[in-house]
């Protein structure tokens, strides 16, 4: 089974001062998809430049032809399904059907309080996602939607002509808990994981592989509950958050070994962060480009 290689380009560069050239370079290097974070700000980048995900992806769509584009991930922390649906349909149109929506429950970072609310508990985030995803599915597939829920409402929301991709653009659902995995099984065209966060500080790569294997098994069970074959879902690993950290990008051989171990678990796509100097995503750019150009052939 071939393994696709994708990248995440953080939206911290001004478009005419490195932003545009990074996205076009991602296409030149042959990446399958270039994603970006859908945050209002993120961790150590909070006090520096940080641009909106949807406008950035729209600009990227205008300067690329083949590269798929997406979010990793969008969450309900500051999004509403009605307005998000309109933006996604527009982006899908501009890109001629090259958009994937990564979506998850969100966390307790800066996005969680930027609109003035108190951070939601894990249960509250799960409750909102459980309502958000089905409503967004309807908004992207029906011309007119009315809905009254516990957290979201829509009143005759029009979304004509709908997505270029039919019946809608694909969802890549980030989840590790039972409720999120059931959403991925029912609504996802892909599932996303970053591994087990409890292992990041003191775990080993071997323990991480075992933990991710357990996640895949739980996804398989969630699919079986609704009579769906888990092979129908792409399985995406967003790297950088396992105990391996940046080691897979230290050499071509290191990456091929890392990616091969996860391909054996059923993953169809590995996502690496575009190098950013003096950050947790620092990496040798020449090695990074070598991996982009040569690793996919070794992972077929």
Beta carbons within 8 Å of 86's beta carbon, 6+ residues apart? 159
Are 154 and 135 in contact, with CB atoms under 8 Å apart? Answer: yes
Mean pLDDT computed over 211-223: 98
Give kind and range of the element (H or E) at residue 135: helix 122-141
Task: Give percent above pLDDT 90 in the chain.
Answer: 99
Determine the pLDDT at residue 1. 62
Q: Cα separation of 174 and 165, whole Å? A: 21
Per residue in 25-47, pLDDT (tens digit) is: 999 999 999 999 999 999 999 99
Mean pLDDT computed over 100-112: 95
Mean pLDDT computed over 52-68: 98
Mean pLDDT computed over 214-234: 98
Residue 202: pLDDT band (50, 70, 90) is very high
Establish whether the linkage from the previous residue to 167 is cis, with ω within 30° of 0: yes
The owner of tokens 């309109």 is 86
For residue 224, pLDDT beyond 90: yes
Provide the 10 A C-beta neighbour count for residue 165.
Answer: 17
Determine the pLDDT at residue 76. 97
- Over the range 197-217, which residues count as b (16 or more CB within 10 Å of their CB) and which as e? eebbeebebebbbebbeebbe
For residue 298, pLDDT beyond 90: yes
Largest CA distance in the chain: 54
Provide the 10 A C-beta neighbour count for residue 235.
Answer: 24
Selection from 84, 131, 74 nearest residue 106 by Cα: 74
Residue 158: pLDDT band (50, 70, 90) is very high
Task: Classify 4-299 by CATH class.
Answer: alpha beta
Mean pLDDT computed over 211-235: 98
Determine the pLDDT at residue 2. 80
Q: What is the mean pLDDT of the chain?
A: 97
């Amino acid at each position: 089974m071939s393994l696709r290689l994708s990248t995440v380009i953080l939206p911290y560069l001004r478009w005419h001062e490195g932003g545009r050239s990074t996205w076009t370079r991602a296409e030149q290097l042959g990446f399958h998809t270039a994603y970006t974070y859908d945050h209002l700000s993120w961790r150590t980048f909070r006090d520096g430049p940080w641009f909106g995900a949807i406008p950035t992806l729209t600009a990227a769509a205008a300067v690329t032809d083949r590269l798929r584009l997406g979010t990793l991930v969008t969450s309900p922390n500051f999004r509403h399904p009605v307005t998000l649906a309109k933006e996604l349909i527009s982006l899908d149109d501009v890109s001629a059907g090259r958009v994937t929506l990564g979506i998850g429950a969100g966390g307790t970072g800066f996005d969680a309080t930027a609109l003035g609310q108190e951070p939601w508990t894990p249960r509250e985030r799960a409750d909102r996602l459980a309502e958000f995803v089905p409503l967004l599915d309807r908004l992207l597939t029906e011309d007119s939607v009315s809905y009254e829920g516990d957290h979201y409402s829509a009143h005759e929301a029009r979304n004509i002509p709908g997505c270029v991709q039919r019946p809608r653009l694909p969802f890549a659902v980030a989840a590790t808990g039972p409720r999120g995995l059931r959403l991925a099984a029912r609504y996802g065209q892909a599932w996303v994981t970053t591994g087990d966060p409890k292992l990041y500080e003191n775990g080993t790569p071997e323990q991480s592989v075992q933990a991710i294997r357990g996640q895949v098994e739980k996804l398989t069970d969630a699919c079986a509950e609704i009579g769906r074959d888990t092979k129908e879902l792409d399985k995406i690993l967003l790297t950088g958050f396992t105990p391996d950290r940046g080691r897979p990008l230290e050499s071509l051989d290191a990456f091929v070994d890392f990616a091969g171990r996860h391909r054996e678990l059923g993953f169809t796509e590995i996502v690496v962060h575009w190098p950013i100097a003096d950050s947790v995503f620092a990496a040798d750019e020449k090695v990074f480009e070598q991996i982009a150009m040569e690793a996919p052939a070794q992972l077929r």
